[in-house]
Amino acid sequence: MTDRSFLTAIALGLALLWPAALPAQTLRTPGGLTLPSATAPAADNRTADYIVALVNSEPVTNHEVRQRLRQVEQNIAQRNITNAPPRAVLMRQVLEQLINERAQLHLARESGVRVSDAEIDQAEQNIAAQNSLSQEEFRRRLRSEGYDLNRFRDELRQQLLLQRLREREVDSRVRVTDADIDEFQREQRGASGAENLELNLSHVLVLVPENASEAVVAERQARAQRVADRARAGEDFAVLAREFSDAAERANGGEFGWRAASRLPDLFVTSTRNLPAGAIAGPLRSPAGFHVLKVNDKRQAGMPSMSVTQTRASHILLRPSAQLTPEAAIARLSDFRQRITAGTASFEALARENSQDGSAANGGSLGWALPGQFVPEFEDTMSRLRPGEVSEPIVSRFGVHLIRVDERRNVQLDEKQQRERLRMVVREQKLREATELWARDVRSRAYVEMREDPQP
């Protein structure tokens, strides 16, 4: 482990089991899909335990509510969320979440949904590998931290059951037609006024001191003009910002990130609103000095960005089998990584000799990829790598990977790609709505008896 607690590391590993559209850690997720509650030590104090609710004759205890609440509060602290509800409200939400889970688990059992021991083993191995541990090391660490392994696996089984039930009952039934996409576009165009404009800008500020002489003003303007000229010639704007900008965001390469037009100076909005992505504006004069702006992207609120950062990556894939355990695959790829970083072997040669997928013939190259093209565990690791950097071994549903990012670039999506991106947005909306309706229906058909209020 690095700077994360073991509890957080387990939670992050378990989160990989859930679709990105409905994060496992989100309290308000329809249907109550959450991280397993068995990630708290079994030795926790239970003197205040009692039944707070019955769901189809199954109890929800005060201890379970407290345990889940503690985990939620840890996630809130880790994410630096400042607008979280009061603790009493969180507790009620947690209780409702647990009730929803009980009702859905009851439905899963009645419907014959099953998760095998082999699937639990594989999920546990994946979590262990994501935390750079073998399965046995992971179990030893659980025991040393006071966790009950059997209960952990039982809760993991329940979460997999919930996932499988949701996929069968909701995900498989959600369809997005071309007419749905057209309707979404019409709705967004109807809200396309300036008040809905969002801009992603980068900025270089060349300060002009108060009461500066004409000579100083001219010198600062010339400096800003050189920045603008170099940016228009294709130089990296982030590098220029770090070198020349006097603004606070210079450390971020001058990037503001996405902001509503209403939260930006009028000077910035009027000079960039009609420019395409990638264009440079300025130098622009303000009381503070001279500004050079780059339009990274623009969109209407509610619409996804139509320019994306593509990544060209390579990987080496080993598929666990009867002859190659996941632990052995991780160890082999760790050795490859050491040899690559030491310069004693090339990534391409090792990929050609060892990788177990079609990219091996190309030295592991996967070509240019759009966001969302790979499975979440692969994509998450890839997104954190700098060009030229090689990852630690990571586990996905396809096997164990060693990933190298070769290059990144910003591109505008073509018409077909734009529609596919809109299709994903519309599907996420429909999925949220369908899941909420389904969860309410399951909850309404369950017998729920509220007993005593939970206590912290």
pLDDT greater than 60 at residue 45: no
User: How would residue 445 be classed by pLDDT, with cut points 50, 70 and 90?
Assistant: very high
C-alpha neighbours within 13 Å on the C-beta side of residue 295: 24
Q: Which residues share a beta bridge with 414?
A: none
Q: Are 355 and 365 in contact (CB under 8 A)?
A: no
- Report the SS3 class of residue 326: helix
Contacts of 441 (CB under 8 A, 6+ apart): none
16-30: pLDDT as tens digits:
333 322 233 332 222
Q: What is the mean pLDDT of residues 205-229?
A: 92
Q: What is the pLDDT of the chain when averaged over all its residues?
A: 81
- Structural domains of the chain, with CATH: 51-171+436-450 (1.10.4030.10), 197-300 (3.10.50.40), 307-412 (3.10.50.40)
C-alpha neighbours within 13 Å on the C-beta side of residue 359: 21
Residue, of 127 and 105, whose pLDDT is higher:
105
Q: What is the mean pLDDT of residues 316-320?
A: 93
48-66: pLDDT as tens digits:
689 999 999 899 999 999 9
| 123/25 Cα distance (integer angstroms) | 18
Residue 432: what pLDDT? 87
DSSP 185-227: HHHHHHT-SGGGEEEEEEEEEEE--TT--HHHHHHHHHHHHHH
Task: Return the sign of the alpha-carbon dihedral for residues 383, 388, 393, 395.
Answer: positive
- Antiparallel, parallel or unpaired: β 365-369 and 307-318: antiparallel
What global pTM score does this model have? Answer: 0.54
174-191: pLDDT as tens digits:
899 989 888 887 777 655
Mean pLDDT is highest, among 71-75, 94-98, 275-279, for: 94-98
